[in-house]
A and B are shown apart, each in its own frame.
Chain A
Amino acid sequence: MLAWTIYITFFGVLVLMLLPRDNARAARIVALLTAIAGCVVAFVGAIQQANPGDVTTIVKVPWIPSIGANYYLAADGISLVLVVLTGLAAVSGILFSWNIEKRTKEFFAFYLALIGGVYGVFLSFDLLLLFVFYELTIIPKYFLIARWGSTRKEYGAMKLALYSFVGSHLVLIGLIAAWVVAKGQLGHASLDLIELSKVAFPIAFQHWVFPLVFVGFAILAGMWPFHTWAPTGHVAAPTAGSMLLAGVVMKLGAYGCLRVAMVMFPEGVRMWQGEIACLAVAGIVYGAGVALVQRDFKFVIGYSSVSHMGFVLLGLATLNTIGLDGAVLQMFSHGIIAGLLFGVVGRMVYDRTHTRDFNDLETMQLGKLIPFAGVTFVIAGIASMGLPGFSGFVAEFQVLMGAWTVFPKLTILAGVGIIVGVAYTLRAVQKGFYSDAPPDAAHHDHPLEPISIPERFGAVMLIAASLVIGFFPSLLMNWIEPCFKSPLFERLLKGGAL
């Protein structure tokens, strides 16, 4: 059932390509219907899966027998969480880009191609297939940003594409090397992730191949110091592009780290655990600190994404179940909240005022002009700060709990990052919406267009998702927790389980 998320989405791309060139309305509707269909399938499929702890095979047929590649789609609880997140992000992204007038059908075709690739990554249990979907997402990202973006869009797009490509090539080197070693041990070629997770790669081999694959994926997760594509890319991207970048694309990286690098090379993780945690905390603190001094509204959110993704990586580095649970939950939570923040800044504010500079925004008193945007941003900001009641709290709390047992000093530093996070969020709320600077009369000549219905829908949907998970984290934890008790993660956790 879940495989249909991929097929439906790519089918939507085909339909969009066949639409007449100038019918923007039809393109929007097709895109929205496709995304909703994908989202519904994701939800229903996820709920139907009886045992989220096990890897449930969806389809497995030989693809390229000579190298052991299968067309192997499957899902466990972690996949389920991220597939549902992708569904939500896809729908809300389309709602927030309802106002795209320039080459609408091409925009949505690239958009859906990206979404289809993301679904594919989260559902692949064959390394080659996963890699195929992973790289498939790079091209639509590039064109979405370079064609429909804003500030320095071509630079940002190229930077993002090159970083992604370099990352994926690091992964490819590791993948080919691991394939050869595994072939020697198994006696036959295999790219099956579950089979490979049982291969005992030599320690010396894991020592160098793990960082290669992990960093390759972590570049896309915005790991410091390879994060620099993230702020520029987020700022350059059109609203829906930023929402997807922060919402799901960065998760692809983190997911790859967990699903491929860590599961295949458990000894490698243990050797590099400390370094990863240091880089993660550096990202948390650095991202938050830089966000505090930005003048561009979108850069604040961009750097906050780096900071929040640091929590995911820190959770992964803990190697205990609480930390890992938190990391996966944080992927979901950040996907929702960052999407919402980018939606407010990109669509509600920038598309109306055509500026993201705090100095200009301060004179506009947006809190009064578009109160819905103000309130949404405050709620999203609170969620992003990690206040109880929202998903972010549950996730970051678990990451910190998990990290405390392993890296107490780093955990304290990460706590500092949270406090800075409160500061930059409050600063953004104040400067962006509720400034007491004297209003500039010039801006009152052109009343801002009111917040449209699609925007309201999108915002309410994302807030609701964050609240529901904040109050009932067990909804997702019931999917995530059993995974880390499954045989797939046994080798990874046997040293550090709580």
Chain B
Amino acid sequence: MNYLPVLQLAAPETIVTLTVLVVLGADLTVLRGKSLAARFNVGALLSVLGCASAACLAFHRHVDANLFNGILVVNPAVDFIKVAILALTVFTILISTGGKFTDHVGEYLAIILLATIGLMFLVSAEDLLMIFIALELASLSLYILTAFNKHNAQSAEAALKYFLFGGMSAAFLLFGFSLLYGLSGSTNLGEIAKAIAGKGLDPLLLVAIVTTVIGFGFKVAAVPFHLWAPDAYEGAPTPSAAFIGAGSKVASFYIVAKIFTLGFAGAEGSAVWHGYVAGWTPTIAVVAALSMVLGNLTAIVQSSVKRLLAYSAIAHAGYMLLGVLGNNPPSASALMFYVITYAVTVIGAFGVVTVVEEATGGDAIANFKGLSRRAPGLALCLMVFLLSLGGIPPLAGFIGKFFLFSAVVSVGGNLGLLWLVILAIAMSAVSFYYYLRVLKAAYVEDAAADAPAIKVPALTLLALALLAALVILLGCAPGLLTRYL
């Protein structure tokens, strides 16, 4: 067997792996004894260079290949998702450069990059085993990232919680996968679909569907499997939370959509109003509806902005699941548009929280008071991000919602899924209230008279400005992104 094609096709991943080694090595040798800021800046520079070259390679090669029957699938669509994940990683690293939560700069950056490698392999896989391995690589890295603030007991608690929940969900997932293998005799998604098609819903398949939904429900933090999310977001160092909420979301939703539309083709069932048929779409419909309602309603009462963003992430996971159950090419591309723009926005929001947290010592809404005076640029960025999350045009979040909802309503051509979209739109009207609460603190309320101006680290400010510009640009000209999806 010739392993050279593997290395060729996995070249972007290989580059990132090498970057991990370089970053670790540099931090261990050259940067030893330098100041924290210098280590962060140089480390970030190296990581960004590595990610950028990997992204360039992935973007400019136009390869269509499928190695070892679905272990490593490479095509332009997958490569574009990889580029998006790499870009999100770059932004995560940039907003973490001002952080003072750890002395282990090299390890922190290396683990972010390792998680990225896991996510990249994840989107390339069409085989249950590979999916599981890649998912675990990414998840284990995320647990560690959550625990990275050693000065804070909350961080360790959050990581433990995340880890225990994650371990459980992995067990569920593996159980479901084993049943699928037993049913079909294959671990390849396409062959599984062929084997189960036309046999109806036998009880084993039903169990497999439900456990798979549970497993991925944990990963994307959908209700009722969401309980880890608020604690993990709150306890984790803010850039880690941003990475959990952004990069890993993109990959997770891509693979969720792939598993269900590809692997469970033939067992869709139907979630249309008065036209219920058992299958995986009604299961996801229930999870989506619960996530939208519970996430949005709970976010209203939060006083910590990180917790608020966690609940809003749960709600957004609900909207995104709509894209999964749309189960056709337009809703799949609308889903990816939505997830990518959401990820861009959420990194920005967490970036602002990082700066405010460093400057004021907390992430409560009260800490944002008078932000428009203390840091006008930062406040403007925050406004763009939160309004986009709330779905105000002409920002990316609105156009994403429009794409997603219109694609889902069009499914089947009979407005059957309109009930879910009505629920989603009603809930997104609710969400506006809590985003506005944060903006009210930033723009309407005044800080204490002696509150000094907040100094924003240059790299972070650059990243935030770019992200805000991207949110506006993708809202006004969504064609820039949709043509690749």
Contact = CB atoms under 8 A, between A and B. Distances in A.
Do A and B belong to a common assembly?
yes
Contacts of B433: 158, 162
A173 interface: yes
Interface string A177-200: 101110110000000000000000
Contacts of B53: none
B428 A135 contact: no
B217 to A, nearest CB: 27
A128 B409 contact: no
Interface magnitude class on chain B: 20 to 34
Interface stretch (A63-71, A230-238, A241-249, A437-445): A63-71
Interface stretch (A27-35, A137-145, A335-343): A137-145
Given A64-B479, A161-B432, A136 B394 contact: yes
Interface string B386-413: 0100001110001100110110011001
A146 B402 contact: no
Contacts of B428: 169
A73 to B, nearest CB: 15
B393 A132 contact: yes
Contacts of A181: 415
A260 to B, nearest CB: 16
Nearest to B383: A139
Interface string A156-182: 001001100110010011001101110
Interface of A: 64-67, 106, 128, 131-132, 135-136, 138-139, 142-143, 146-147, 154, 158, 161-162, 165-166, 169, 172-173, 176-177, 179-181, 183-184
Interface stretch (B254-262, B270-278, B418-426): B418-426
B479 A147 contact: no
Interface in B447-485: 478-479, 482
Contacts of A142: 436
21 contacts: A64-B399, A67-B402, A67-B406, A128-B402, A135-B392, A135-B398, A138-B392, A142-B436, A143-B444, A146-B443, A158-B433, A158-B436, A166-B429, A173-B421, A176-B402, A176-B405, A176-B406, A176-B409, A176-B421, A177-B418, A180-B410
A65 B19 CA distance: 40
Contact of A147 (B406, B422, B443): B443
A154 B440 contact: yes
A64 B440 contact: no
Contact of A146 (B392, B418, B440): B440
A136 B393 contact: yes
B39 to A, nearest CB: 36
A169 B425 contact: yes
Contacts of B426: 169
B444 A154 contact: yes
A177 B415 contact: yes
Contacts of B405: 176
Nearest to B440: A146
Contacts of B422: 173
Main secondary structure of the interface of A (DSSP, over half): helix
A146 B387 CA distance: 17
Contacts of A143: 443-444
A81 to B, nearest CB: 25
A166 to B, nearest CB: 5
A131 B432 CA distance: 16
A181 B416 CA distance: 12
Given A162-B433, A173-B422, A180 B415 contact: yes
A371 B433 CA distance: 44
Nearest to B476: A63
Contacts of A177: 409, 415, 418
Contacts of B402: 67, 128, 172, 176
A138 B418 CA distance: 26
Contacts of A173: 421-422, 425
Contacts of B394: 132, 136
Given A158-B436, A162-B432, A176-B405, 15 more contacts: A64-B399, A64-B482, A67-B402, A132-B394, A132-B398, A135-B392, A135-B393, A136-B393, A138-B392, A143-B443, A169-B425, A176-B409, A176-B421, A176-B425, A177-B418
Nearest to B437: A158
Contacts of B444: 143, 146-147, 154
Contacts of B421: 173, 176
Nearest to B405: A176
Given A142-B436, A169-B428, A66 B392 contact: no
Contact of B409 (A132, A139, A147, A180): A180
Nearest to B409: A180
B407 to A, nearest CB: 9
A64 B440 CA distance: 33
A165 B398 CA distance: 13
Contacts of A179: 406
B481 to A, nearest CB: 11
Contacts of A135: 392-393, 398
B393 A165 contact: no
B129 to A, nearest CB: 36
Nearest to A147: B444
Contacts of A180: 406, 409-410, 413, 415
Nearest to B482: A66
A180 B436 CA distance: 31
B393 A131 contact: yes
A165 B432 contact: yes
Contacts of A161: 432, 436
A467 to B, nearest CB: 39
A106 B394 CA distance: 21
A146 B422 CA distance: 30
A177 to B, nearest CB: 6
Interface centre among A65, A67, A138, A158 (most CB of B within 10 A): A67
Nearest to A146: B444
B26 to A, nearest CB: 41
A459 B14 CA distance: 72
Q: From B392, B426, B482, name the one whose CB has the most chain A CB atoms within 10 angstroms.
A: B392
A314 to B, nearest CB: 28
B443 A65 contact: no
Nearest to A171: B425
Nearest to B394: A132
A320 B412 CA distance: 39
Contact of A169 (B387, B429, B443, B482): B429
A172 B422 CA distance: 9
A120 to B, nearest CB: 10
B483 to A, nearest CB: 9
Contacts of B429: 162, 165-166, 169
Nearest to A179: B406
Nearest to A106: B372
A67 B429 CA distance: 23
Nearest to A71: B476
Contacts of B478: 64
A64 B443 CA distance: 33
A222 B432 CA distance: 21
Contacts of A165: 429, 432
Contacts of B413: 180, 184
A181 B414 CA distance: 8
Nearest to B390: A165
Contacts of A65: 479
A253 B293 CA distance: 28
B369 to A, nearest CB: 13
B425 A172 contact: yes
Nearest to B411: A180
Contacts of B432: 161-162, 165
A52 B432 CA distance: 39
A209 to B, nearest CB: 10
Nearest to B431: A165
A65 B403 CA distance: 12
B417 to A, nearest CB: 10
A128 B475 CA distance: 12
A179 B330 CA distance: 15
Nearest to A21: B376
Contacts of B403: 67
A173 B425 CA distance: 7
